[in-house]
Amino acid sequence: MDLEITQSQLNLFKKVKAAYYASTKLPTSNNWQSLSSNSLWLKMVVQVIVVGGSSGGRRFWSKNELQNNISLSNLNKRKGEEQVALLIHEVLRAAGTRYCAAGPSHCQKTKALLYNYKFLKGVKGGLKAVLRELSTMESKDAELQRVHYIMQHFHFLKSKSARDYLMNLGMNTQTLAIDIRTQNIFLHFGIDFPDSRELSNEQLYREVELQIIQKICRPLHLSPLCFDRLLYQHYDKILANDFYQLKLPFS
């Protein structure tokens, strides 16, 4: 897949940067270090919840009861996998999670979180220890190696979700969480872009990611993390061409 970016299309992204760069919020570097294993677990839960739609994630974060119910300490009190699955499923349904089947035995997101929970129970130190180990990777491909570890060991965290998780924790800065918003913005600017089905292929995803970095991020002097958050946080305004109204001198 070859992304063709004309100079006029690059200029549109330059206008977006000029309009919204100053108000774009970035994750604090390595903020995972100050979080508990339970907080890191809840963030992983949300990554599964928001696949297919972000509204469930907002509802989850707005209700302490849901966060408490699916906390590691509460799950640990349950007797047997069936009871853990029932509780996970109840929380997903209460959050209005998309693609959450009526029964836990038919819900792929419930099964995924049950698997992830069981995997972490077998890791000494839990999720905090996993991330501590990932943080020691220092090769030039370290960020991609972390992504592939998350994808390999945790169910329902694929190309976009694994990257987004690591980026939110301040661990990865050179990757992009490409989703339907990215696709819509590129199409809005007249750029041919692969759909969600095509991007489920990690090799193609990586090719597209690298091209965006090379053809847009670098010319605009933006880190991939900053570009990603720029599009995500100002998505509605970009589609409404609001950036045309903001005449800010920014190169």
Mean pLDDT of 26-47: 98
Which long-range contacts (C-beta less than 8 Å, at least 24 apart) are formed by 151-156? 151/202, 153/119, 154/44, 154/112, 154/115, 154/116, 154/119, 155/111, 155/112, 155/113, 155/115, 155/116, 156/47, 156/48, 156/51, 156/108, 156/109, 156/112, 156/113, 156/116
Identify the band that residue 250 occupies on the pLDDT scale cut at 50, 70 and 90.
very low
Tell me the whole-structure pTM to 2 decimals.
Answer: 0.95
Position 244 scores a pLDDT of 86
Q: What is the mean pLDDT of the chain?
A: 96
Mean pLDDT of 47-54: 95
Contact (CB, 8 A) for 165 and 44: yes
